[in-house]
Each structure stands twice: as C-alpha cells, then as structure tokens.
Amino acid sequence: MSDSYQIKDQEGTYFLTCQVVGWVDVFSRQVYRDIIIDSLKYCIKEKELIVYAYVIMTNHVHLIVRSNSGRLSDTIRDFKRFTSNQIMKSIDENGAESRKDWMNIVFEYHAKFNKRVKDKQFWTHENHAVELSSNDMLDSKLHYIHENPVRAGWVENAEDYLYSSARNYAGLNNLLDIEMI
C-alpha cells in the first residue's frame, strides 16, 4: 500500500473512503446502511470518534473524522471489522436477500488474496486516508461528500439524502449526531 494514503497522525482530521470489495452494492438495502449508522454511533460514544461528515453510498462510505483518543487507525480498523461481521451475518440471515449467493461468492473470492482474512472479505484493506491539513481541503472534501448523492442522480439537493451529514448542516432531522465544522 502506498505511504501517501495512510493515517500517519493519529490525532489528525482525515477524509476516509471505506469501499466494499468488488464494488458490491450492499448499501442499496436500508438494513445494511443502518448497521453503518449504528456502528458510527457506537464509535462516537465509546471510542471517542469525532465525525464531521459522512455519506453512505451503495458500495462505499465517505467520512471526515478524527479521534479524541489518538487511536484513529485502531478505531477505523475496529469499525470495519465489526461492520463487516455484522453485515455479512445479516446478509446470510436475510431470507429476502436475493443477492446473497452472488455476494458471498464475491466476498469469498476477494478473501483468497488476503492472508489476514479467513473465509470472506467485505471491505477493501485501504481507507484512502487523506489528511485534511487546511480549511480549503476540509471544505473541498465536505462539499465532495455531500454532493455524492446529487452526482449519482439520487437527489436534487444534497440535504435530501437521508444517509448523509448534509442533513445535519442544513438543520434537518438526521440519523447521526455529528460535530459541525
């Protein structure tokens, strides 16, 4: 993995992208998006994660975060491990999940190339971490995150997408309490 996309400053503010292997559109289902929201709530409450912005797309999650514990890498690792296990368990137990067999084939295939994964791999190893060391960078990534659902053609206005912190910044009801920039 390239040095340029690693979390180097454990207390820094970072733009992260957590991507599902094979770009599988897992988060097209609400049940799996809700696992992400619940896990972020846990990390905020129990692991001192500060979330400034987020968006959950169909196959990836963008975050702007930092850690008050000084252990951002550990927190993100734990977040990805927990959500991976919970989502794959939910997929397997969801009788209405028509894509179960196909998704499991993709997850098993990607696990073959990662020595640290036994049976199935859900997330890619990378977080594409970009340290946000200036206000311009922060503003740019905040705008990028919030405009993702608009660029995808899902909503006309960023704040109309429920699984995004754009709602927080617009003063609307939202799913996750964040720290405003």
Q: What pLDDT, on a 0 to 100 scale, did the predictor assign at position 115?
A: 80
Quote helix, strand, coil % in the chain, to nearest 5: 45, 15, 40
pLDDT in tens, 34-56: 999 999 999 999 999 999 999 99
pLDDT tier for residue 4 given thresholds of 50, 70 and 90: low
Q: Residue type for 31, please?
A: V
Examine the pLDDT at 177 and tell me if it is beyond 60. Answer: yes
Q: What is the 3-state secondary structure (H, E, C) of the chain?
A: CCHHHCCCCCCCCEEEEEEEHHHCCHHHCHHHHHHHHHHHHHHHHHCCEEEEEEEECCCEEEEEEEECCCCHHHHHHHHHHHHHHHHHHHHHHCCCCCCHHHHHHHHHHHHCCCCCCCCCCCECCCCCCEECCCHHHHHHHHHHHHHHHHHCCCCCCHHHCCCECHHHHCCCCCCCCCCCC
Q: What pLDDT, on a 0 to 100 scale, did the predictor assign at position 1?
A: 46
DSSP assigned state of 179: -
Domains and CATH numbers, the chain: 3-169 (3.30.70.1290)
pLDDT in tens, 142-176: 999 999 999 999 999 999 999 999 999 999 999 99
Strand partners, 49: 67
In terms of pLDDT, which residue wins out, 99 or 115?
99
Return d(Cα 86, Cα 70) in angstroms, integer: 26
pLDDT in tens, 106-116: 999 999 988 88
